[in-house]
Chains A and B, each alone.
Chain A
Amino acid sequence: MKRSLLVKRRKPAVRTRGASSRARPQRRVVVLVATRKGAWLYHGDAARKTWRADGPHFLGHVISHVALDPRDGRTLLAAAKTGHLGPTVFRSTDLGRTWKEAAQPPAFAKAPAAGQGRAVDHTFWLTPGHASEPDAWYAGTSPQGLFRSEDGGVTWKPFSSINDDPQYRKWMGTVQDGTPDGPKLHSIIVDPRDPAHLYFAMSGGGVHESVDGGRTWAPLLKGLDVVEGFDRAQPTFHDPHCVRICPSNPDRLYQQNHCGIYRLDRPSDEWVRIGKRMPTAVGDIGFPLVLHPRDADTAWVLPMDGTSVWPRTSPDGRPAVYATRNGGKTWQRLDAGLPGKQAWWTVKRQAMTGDASDPVGLYFGTTSGELWMSRDEGRRWTCIARHLPEIYAVEAAELT
C-alpha cells in the first residue's frame, strides 16, 4: 500500500451559496427506491408535487441499491439477492422497462485452499464511474469488497489491491466485526476532476483513498473519533457510515460517522468534527448525509439516537433533518411537516438523497416503509409513499 498521497490537481472553482440563487432549468426527477422486498421508481411531475409509482420491480428480492447512470440518463443498475439465492446485479437500458442480469456479478477471487475464501453476500453500493469513462462502474459489497465494471455493469472484476491485500483483510475484520447485516464497503467516490482519484469507506475499516486508479490505497482517518477505549490509529475500529464529496468543490468531503459528523478540506488529511455544534440533546449520530449540488457549505443530516443502547431511532420520537449552511458552524432543525411525536424512525445510510434542482429537493425513506420529500431544501416535508417494505436506499436522478 502506498501511505502518503496528495492529489495534484488544478485548483477547483469553489462555488458557494450565491450560485444556488441562479435560475436553473428544471428536469423531471425520478426517485429510485430500493427495499428489502423489491424496488420502486417514483416519477415526479415538473413541479415535484405529484409522484407516479412504477413498481414493484423484483418483488420479493432484497434490493440494496438502485442507481441511474448520469452519463446517459436511462441505464439503471440494481444490486439484488433473495433470501435463498446468491447476489447479482440487474441492468436496464430503458429506465426499468426491461432488466437483464449481469453475466458476471461481483464475486471474490477463488481462494487457493478449498473453502477458505470469502463469498459476496450482497452487493451493497453502486457508483457510476467518471464522466470520461462512460461504461465504468464501481461496486462495494458485503463482506467488504471493491469491484469495477468496464462494460456498463455486465461483467465485474475484483480489486485485488483491496480484496486480497493482507493488511486490508486484517482491517476488515470478520463478519462479526461489521454492521448487523454484514460488514460493508460503501461510499465509493470518484473525483469529478480525476478518474484515478478514488475514495471508499468500510463499516468497519475506515475511509481510504487512491490517486492511481485503485492500484494503491491509504487510510484517511486523522481526526476521526472511535468508540471509547479503542485505538483510533487502527482502521479496523473506524466506522464511517456515509462519506460524500461536494459536487461544487471536490476538495471538500463530509462524513457521517458512527462517532459524529465531520468535514475534510483537502489537501488537509485531518477531518474536523463539525457535529459538535449540533444540539446536545440530539447529538451527531446518524447514517445518511446529503450535500448541496451547488453550495459546498450546505449539508443535511438525519440524526438518530445514539445514546444508551443505541436505539438508532429519531431522538425523542420526533424526526428532524438538520441542515448546515456554513460548513458545520451552525445547524438548523428542519421538521415542518414531519410527525411531531411518537415517530421512531430509522433511516439507513443510503436512504437519503437530494436532487440537483433549484431549490434542491430532498428525499428520505424509513425502515418502516415511508418515503418523504421536501421541494424547498428541507423547509417543509411531505410524505409521497407509505406502506412500502423496509427502505434500504433512495436515489434521486434527473431525467435527460
Chain B
Amino acid sequence: MRVLIPGALRSYTAQSEAEASGATLAAVLADLDRAYPGIRFRMIDEQDRIRRHIRIFVNGDQVRDLSQPLNATDEVIIVQALSGG
C-alpha cells in the first residue's frame, strides 16, 4: 500500500511516498523498516508506542493502535506533529 512519508523521514526513503505491505499497521511499519532500516524506531519507541510528535492516519483517520487491521488499498499517512522552537 501507499505510505506518505513526512519530510523528517525522507533521509531514509529519499522520496515522499513508499510502498509497504502488511495486514496490520505494525506489519506495514515492519515492512517499511526492512526497506529503510532504522525508520521505524524514529517513529515507534521500544515499547511499541507511537512517539509523541508522530501521528499516523489511515484513509484520513488517526490511528493510535499498531494492531489496527489494514487493507491493501488503504493509504497510510505519517505526519510529523507539532514540535516547537
Contacts and interface: CB of A to CB of B under 8 A. Distances in A.
A132 to B, nearest CB: 30
B32 to A, nearest CB: 14
Interface residues of B, number: 21
Given A101-B38, A103-B37, A103-B38, A86 B47 contact: no
Nearest to A105: B41
Nearest to A60: B8
A119 B42 contact: no
B80 A108 contact: no
Main secondary structure, interface of A, reads: loop
A167 B62 CA distance: 39
Given A85-B9, A86-B43, A105-B41, A114 B83 contact: no
Interface in B1-33: 6, 8-9
A75 B17 CA distance: 33
B53 A107 contact: no
Contacts of A105: 38, 41
B34 to A, nearest CB: 13
Contacts of A282: none
Interface string B43-68: 11111110101100000000000000
A111 B80 CA distance: 26
A340 interface: no
Given A101-B38, A103-B38, A105-B41, A84 B80 contact: yes
Interface of A: 82-86, 88, 101-103, 105, 107-111, 114-120
A85 B51 CA distance: 7
16 contacts: A83-B84, A84-B6, A85-B51, A85-B54, A85-B80, A86-B42, A86-B51, A88-B38, A103-B38, A107-B45, A108-B47, A110-B46, A114-B47, A114-B48, A119-B45, A119-B46
B13 to A, nearest CB: 13
B70 to A, nearest CB: 20
B81 interface: yes
Contacts of B38: 88, 101-103, 105
Contacts of A120: 45-46
B81 A117 contact: no
A246 to B, nearest CB: 37
